[in-house]
Chain A
Amino acid sequence: MVVIDGHGGYVPLYRVDRSEVAAQHGGRGRGESAVPARDENHVTMACEAADNALARSGVEGGNLGAVVTASVSDPFAEHGIAAHVAARLGATGGVRTTDLRGSRCAATDALATAQEFVAANDAPVLVVGVDVLPADPESDEVAEAGAGAGAVVLRPEADSPAAEFAGVGQETTGFVEHHRRHGEAGETGDAKFESRHGVGEAAPAATERALDGATPAKAVAAAPSDRLAGAALGGVDVEQVSTRDRVGDAGAAAAVLDLAHLLETTEAGETALVVAYGAGGAGAVALETAEGVGTADAKSVATYLDASEETTYAKHLEYREPVEYEGVKTP
């Protein structure tokens, strides 16, 4: 048995009203997107979410067996996130650290990898998704570039877990339409084509393997767009839990952040589904919620969503850029 004992999210304080971006840029403008402060980075945001998850678990940071992170926006080719989160939490020494990236499936891959590590090693694992999507004023995606982090602690068992792992599914297709270089806006192709042949072929297969016949009550889905996220849950009659209207596109982190939000707001005894669709395929995880759901012992995602401060389109762009001082780049 593998359970989730401890869940938590983090959303930066600042928000840009997408209608303000639309006013200067054109396009639609509903909802808001989270803007990281100038002094936040992937590691610091991941640590905020991890602190909340650990506060709700019976695990001390120093007792973690592994830290697995998922991100599609880590700016570094070499530096990583997982080891720095682990060190900050006191999980040094013989601790496995893994940085998963390259596709939004990194989120479900992280959950699957963690589940296997727990089962094989009988040791707790922290999974963190963290992303700060680049905002390029030349791109249609500029208004939706979001930021956020989510974390869960997986253990062999717990006194009062938030959920139990019921199934994990994968569908690897090699299909790529939406893709993106480091630090740049994504290139999006024909949405109808991608809905049918990308997410339409990958997500249902992964979901079916994870659910194994169970009927989910609630689900979260990470995908490059709202439309593709909807398509990822297309074949399932389920209530979708999403922070995207308030956070924007949070990349792979969206799956874990929304899962934390789901576990904070759902009832015990339900089936919950996590789906991530991205470059190369889709992944899915089915969970049975338990008595440890809720918002006790840590700041809730709802608190982060409500405790916000409006900022400008200019800051939305600027805060994601490295700081320049006297011509020297100092991110």
Chain B
Amino acid sequence: MSGPRYERTRRQDQHLIGFECQACGWVSFPEEKRTCKRCGDAPAEMTEVQLQERGEIQTFVVQQYLPDDIETPQPVAIVDLPQAGEGEPARAYGLLTETDLEEIDVGTEVVARFRELFSDGERPINSFKFSVPREEKA
């Protein structure tokens, strides 16, 4: 059991909250940082920002070989999560769910889906994956 690891950023993980460097505009997600990964400002003035529940695929692969607890084929992407307001997006890894290779490309917009990422013991750890919008499956 590793409760502390998942509790530290639970608010960000479940609400897509980022932290924007006031010196350079870089957005940290999900860590609430005190230094800036881009401009190196330290201590950095970081302002909490809300990210949208959608992402734009920057690049991706479709995984065929993974341990058994991850179903394959598993598309995984680097996604940009735009801010609700003005400013730069946060850039993060996003697992895709219910999405096939044929449905995605660089630039495809995907929506955030609240899903079980894995479990800690028996306890589900829920956060976001991404998928093409459900209505596109009709």
Contacts and interface: CB of A to CB of B under 8 A. Distances in A.
Chains A, B in direct contact (C-beta < 8 Å): yes
Interface of A: 13, 37-41, 43-44, 47-48, 76, 79, 84, 87-88, 90, 299, 303-304, 306-309, 322-326, 329-331
Interface string B113-131: 1111111001110100100
Name, among B117, B124, B126, the residue most crowded by chain A CB atoms within 10 Å (CB to CB).
Answer: B124
Contact of B97 (A39, A84, A307, A323): A39
B114 to A, nearest CB: 5
B98 A13 contact: yes
Interface string B1-23: 00000000000001100000000
Interface in B84-138: 97-98, 113-119, 122-124, 126, 129, 134-138
Interface residues of B, number: 25
22 contacts: A37-B98, A38-B71, A39-B117, A40-B116, A41-B116, A41-B124, A41-B126, A44-B114, A44-B116, A44-B126, A76-B122, A87-B14, A88-B114, A88-B126, A303-B135, A306-B138, A307-B135, A309-B98, A322-B122, A325-B67, A331-B119, A331-B122
Contact of B135 (A40, A43, A299, A329): A299
B136 A307 contact: yes
Nearest to A84: B126
A13 B134 contact: yes
A325 B68 CA distance: 6
A90 B69 CA distance: 30
A39 B113 CA distance: 10
A300 to B, nearest CB: 9
User: Which DSSP category, helix, strand, loop or mixed, fits chain B's interface?
Assistant: mixed
Contact of B137 (A308, A325, A329, A330): A308
Given A47-B114, A306-B138, 8 more contacts: A13-B134, A43-B124, A88-B14, A90-B15, A323-B119, A325-B67, A326-B68, A330-B118
Given A40-B116, A88-B126, A299 B134 contact: yes
Nearest to A47: B114
A303 B138 contact: yes
A82 to B, nearest CB: 14
A309 B129 CA distance: 19
B122 A329 contact: yes
Nearest to B11: A87
A168 B126 CA distance: 35
B71 A307 contact: no
Contacts of B98: 13, 37, 309
Contacts of A323: 68-69, 119
Given A306-B138, A323-B69, A330-B69, A44 B14 contact: no
